[in-house]
Amino acid sequence: MNKILICDDEPDIISALKIYLVSEGFEVISASNGKEAVDILKTQTDIKLILMDVMMPVMDGIAAMAEIRTFSNVPIIMLTAKSEDADKVMGLTIGADDYVTKPFNPVELMARVKSQIRRYTLLGASTVDASDNDSILQIGGIELNDKSKEVILDGNLVSLTPLEYDILKLLMTHKGEVLSPRDIYEKVWNDTVLGAESTVAVHIRHLREKLEYDSANPRYLKAVWGHGYKIDD
């Protein structure tokens, strides 16, 4: 049974989320602030996903997520108020995998949760039906080893989240091709959601920060204005 951590300071939100998640067969634990969530994740390593509110006392969701990313790549879906600017929130939450707005649609929420857990589980799979050479992609100084799930930039290991890895792999397997944000979202998230463009843009920015020496003038991850993104050497 997949275990999910809900972090929110509103008991009613936690109760509602528990009802949805338990009915879908998930095991649920909860925290009322970011510090509690960090402490729980450090001791319970079998958590498969976190639903994290942004605004909380003691430690907010953004600070908690940033600390979690120093030791874990577990998927994090941020819970944001409908009045908040989603682009701004995602820009601040370095390492968040997705976000949903309150009040949330249960069907949409469950789809996002299942998609994130499925991707996280697949990325952690230890068996790959390919030879070492077949599992390696290289463009310029970027080398992606799909067997070891490692990315090397100019000889140095780069730490990517599962979503960042999947986006990079998608672009590298379509070298020189322009993929629209919607194409990227549908292929990586296995879903179609309104507003996907802003989510993809945030992850592309994170990839540039990790793979480009000058993210404002990228060598590899390039935007084709009005069309999408491509990777080239």
Within a domain: 131: no
Within a domain: 129: no
Within a domain: 128: no
Q: pLDDT tens digit string along 110-158?
A: 888 887 887 777 665 333 333 444 578 888 888 898 888 888 887 788 8
Which domain does 31 fall in, by range? 3-123
Percent of the chain with pLDDT over 70: 87
Q: What is the pLDDT of residue 149?
A: 85
**Within this chain, do residues 171 and 209 fall inside the same structural domain, yes or no?**
yes
Q: Where is 100: in which H helix or E strand? A: strand 98-102
Within a domain: 48: yes
**Within this chain, do residues 17 and 59 fall inside the same structural domain, yes or no?**
yes
Report whether pLDDT(93) > 70: no
Give the CA angle between residues 79, 84, 88 to the nearest 5°.
90
**Within this chain, do residues 38 and 91 fall inside the same structural domain, yes or no?**
yes
Q: pLDDT tens digit string along 174-186?
A: 999 999 998 999 8
Of 184, 187, 176, 158, nearest in space to 231 by CA: 176
**Within this chain, do residues 26 and 117 fall inside the same structural domain, yes or no?**
yes
Q: Could you count the other beta carbons within 10 Å of the beta carbon of residue 11?
A: 10
d(CA 192, CA 176): 24
Q: Which of 92, 123, 154 is at the close of a domain? A: 123
Tell me the two tokens of residue 120.
Answer: 């996280």
Of 36-50, 80-94, 97-111, which gets the smallest average pLDDT?
80-94
Strand partners, 81: 102
What angle do helix axes 106-123 and 181-189 make, rounded to 10 degrees?
70
**Within this chain, do residues 113 and 148 fall inside the same structural domain, yes or no?**
no
Give the CA angle between residues 116, 135, 112 to the nearest 5°.
10
Report whether pLDDT(46) > 60: yes
DSSP state of 161: -
Report whether pLDDT(217) > 90: no
d(CA 113, CA 38): 20
* Overall pTM > 0.85: no
**Within this chain, do residues 158 and 118 fall inside the same structural domain, yes or no?**
no
Q: What is the pLDDT of residue 165?
A: 92
**Within this chain, do residues 115 and 177 fall inside the same structural domain, yes or no?**
no
Within a domain: 165: yes
**Neighbour-count burial of 207, counting CB atoms closer than 10 A to its CB (0-12 exposed, 13-18 middle, 19+ buried):** buried
**Within this chain, do residues 175 and 201 fall inside the same structural domain, yes or no?**
yes
Within a domain: 130: no
Of 78-87, 142-151, 215-224, which gets the smallest average pLDDT?
78-87
Q: What is the mean pLDDT of residues 25-38?
A: 95
**Within this chain, do residues 29 and 115 fall inside the same structural domain, yes or no?**
yes
**Within this chain, do residues 40 and 102 fall inside the same structural domain, yes or no?**
yes
**Within this chain, do residues 87 and 190 fall inside the same structural domain, yes or no?**
no
CATH number at residue 20: 3.40.50.2300
Within a domain: 47: yes
Count of alpha carbons within 13 angstroms of residue 161, beta-carbon side: 26
d(CA 113, CA 51): 9
Question: How many domains, in total, are found in the chain?
Answer: 2
Q: What is the pLDDT of residue 143?
A: 87
- Among 6-20, 91-105, 183-197, top mean pLDDT goes to 6-20
